[in-house]
Amino acid sequence: MRFFKPLLLLLITFTLVPSVKAQTEAPNQTLFTNVNVWDGSSENLAMGQEVLVEDNMIKQVSANGIDAPGATVIDGGGRTLMPGLIDMHAHLCIQEGMLVGRDDYDQMAMGARAAKSMIQYLDQGFTTARDVGCNILGIAKAVNNGLIDGPRIYAAGGFLSQTGGHADTGSFNDAPGRVDDLERHGFGYIVDGKTEVRRAARQNLRAGATHLKLMAGGGVASEFDPLHITQFSVEEFETAVEVANDYGTYVTVHAYHDRSVNRAIDAGVRCIEHNFLVSEDTVKRMKKEGIALSVQGFISMIVFADPDSITFFNPDQKAKAKQVNSGVKRMLKWARKHKLLMVTGGDMFGPAYNGSQALNMTILSTIGFTPHEILTMATSNAAEVLIWSGGMNPYKYGTLGTIAPGGYADMILVEGNPLDDIKIIEDYSNNFKVIMKDGKIWKNVLN
């Protein structure tokens, strides 16, 4: 027995050593030195800063030097360190129109194409995307769990559309109640009445949606809905809002004109996508009630100014595009005048627009928006809306859209100062020297 106790103690000691070592192992650290920091909201850069990243979080920002002897050091060389960009209107599973995944490719191919699109988002410095409709929930889960590369995804899941609404992807001669192939795969749900709205909303949230997206009015890219129509009743909207509230999140809607926008706001919707044909009175109401506006500047101002260039649009869709283009600049000037909470999102999909996400932001400079206003839309403003996801937020343990202690380490090291020249962000290949997402280096051309 006198030999047994020392032997037992020795075995316990060796058993505990790996556990103690794991607990005391130093975190992975990256130290950015000699950088000028734009924090996501300030009107000016903070000059001569150091920023310490620990694992996937920003640990410290200081002008007095940071002691981190084990850190990997990146000398910024006086460049600008800014938050990763946030695209608030993505459709990662849509390529060249809504029906391509039904008529031209199966869902395996569409998933592969979505993976390619996500790489392009990261290459452009977009480290977060809010996907506002399509069957992205499985991909979002895989990205958020670190299984595949891509931006952080805040996903609405399948669109909610009434019969004949903007996300009705069925055929012309479908009988009522027939389930389209895209609907079977969760691309969108055709719902009529409160019970169907409630079931589809709960299904999306059950599968990990962070918010809900409903079609409140006519659209350009869809076949059955003229722009002037209003979709969903107040009661149907209220049902979706009730479900969202029960889950601690919010509803956003696709809408262009006064009637559809105001009906959605009456029901408790918190964010409007597009909004390009509303009156100034509606913009004033949005400001008064704290409704966010999601802007798709490049598509509406440039692409829709020349819809003949969109090869997959039919003549009616091209006419609708021209109608949307007619009201864009006026509405955006009202939105700026009344200081709406504005975010930006490309609404771009397909090979024709790969690598063009920044154009959605920079185009706003042509109608009077300053670089500071534009950049905050894609950083701190966007992060404010993402927080509305509440308990459904997959990234609730840190902040996004900022460079500050306690923020997720999503950052871009930029050649030049985008607060002086917003066009810098268009040439991401040359001007983005380092891109970090979640504390991991995605791109580094300094070494």
Per-residue pLDDT tens over the stretch 51-63: 999 999 999 999 9
Number of domains in the chain: 2
Structure tokens, 143 = 């990205």
Q: Is residue 231 part of a domain?
A: yes
pLDDT over threshold 50, residue 17: no
Instruction: State CA 12 to chain mean position distance.
Output: 50
Instruction: Provide the pLDDT for residue 32.
Output: 98
Which pLDDT band, with edges at 50, 70 and 90, does 11 fall under?
very low
Query: 273 Cβ partners below 8 Å, 6+ apart?
Result: 89, 132, 213, 252, 253, 254, 255, 294, 296, 345
The candidate with the shortest Cα–Cα distance to 58, out of 444, 443, 438, is: 438
pLDDT in tens, 353-411: 778 899 999 999 999 999 999 999 999 999 999 999 999 999 999 999 999 999 999 99
53 in the same domain as 131: no
Does 97 lie in the same domain as 205? yes
Average of per-residue pLDDT across 233-243: 98
Among 15-19, 110-114, 188-192, 392-396, the range scoring the smallest mean pLDDT is 15-19
Q: Tell whether 117 and 237 lie within a shared domain.
A: yes
How far is residue 351 from each of residues 237, 290, 303, 331, measured CA to CA in Å? 34, 36, 14, 29
- pLDDT at position 222 is 80
Residue 23 pLDDT: 54
pLDDT band at 101 (very low <50, low <70, confident <90, very high): confident
Joined tokens for residue 335: 């939105």
pLDDT of residue 169: 79
Gap between the terminal Cα atoms of the chain: 62
CATH code assigned at 335:
3.20.20.140
Q: What is the pLDDT of residue 96?
A: 76
* Tokens 């050593």, residue located: 17
Q: Is residue 225 scored above 70 in pLDDT?
A: yes
Beta pairing class for 29-37 and 72-75: parallel
Query: Does 323 lie in the same domain as 435?
Result: no
> What is the model's pLDDT at position 24?
60
CB atoms within 10 A of CB 215: 25
Q: Where among 369, 392, 424 does a domain terminate?
A: 369
Pick the closest to residue 37 from 445, 407, 387, 443 (CA basis): 407
Q: What is the pLDDT of residue 425?
A: 98
Q: Are residues 140 and 62 in the same domain?
A: no
Q: For a pLDDT cut of 70, what percent of the chain falls above it? A: 94
Do residues 232 and 125 share a domain? yes
At 15 the pLDDT is 44
326-351 exposure pattern, b = at least 16 Cβ within 10 A, e = fewer: ebbbebbebbbeeebbbbbbbbbbbe
Do 80 and 98 belong to one domain? no
Final residue in a domain of this structure, among 349, 369, 389: 369
Residues 54 and 158 in one domain: no
Q: Answer yes or no: do 97 and 66 share one domain.
A: no
Identify whether residues 79 and 47 lie together within a single domain. Answer: yes
Q: What is the structure's pLDDT at 7?
A: 44
User: Which range is least confidently modeled, 21-30, 196-205, 341-350, 438-447?
Assistant: 21-30
119 and 76 housed in the same domain: no
Which tokens belong to 229? Answer: 């129509």
Across residues 296-321, what is the average pLDDT?
A: 87
18 domain-assigned? no
Asked, for residue 386, whether it belongs to a domain, the answer is no
- Could you list the residue range(s) of the whole structural domain that residue 77 is in? 28-84+400-444
Domain presence at residue 262: yes
- When mean pLDDT is compared across 23-37, 227-241, 332-346, the lowest value belongs to 23-37
SS3 per-residue string spanning 364-430: HHHHCCCHHHHHHHCCHHHHHHHHHHHHHCCCCCCECCCCCCCEECCEEEECCCCCCCHHHHHCHHH
Model confidence at 5: pLDDT above 70: no
- Which CATH number do you get for residue 49? 2.30.40.10
Percent of the chain residues topping a pLDDT of 90: 74
98 shares a domain with 172: yes
The answer as to whether 287 is a domain residue is yes
Is the residue at 427 inside a domain? yes
Q: Which tens digits make up the pLDDT trace of 152-179?
A: 999 999 999 999 888 877 777 777 777 8
Residues 6+ apart with CB under 8 A from 371: 365, 418, 419, 420, 421, 422
* Inside any domain, residue 394: no
Is pLDDT of 195 > 60?
Answer: yes
Q: Residue 37 domain-assigned?
A: yes
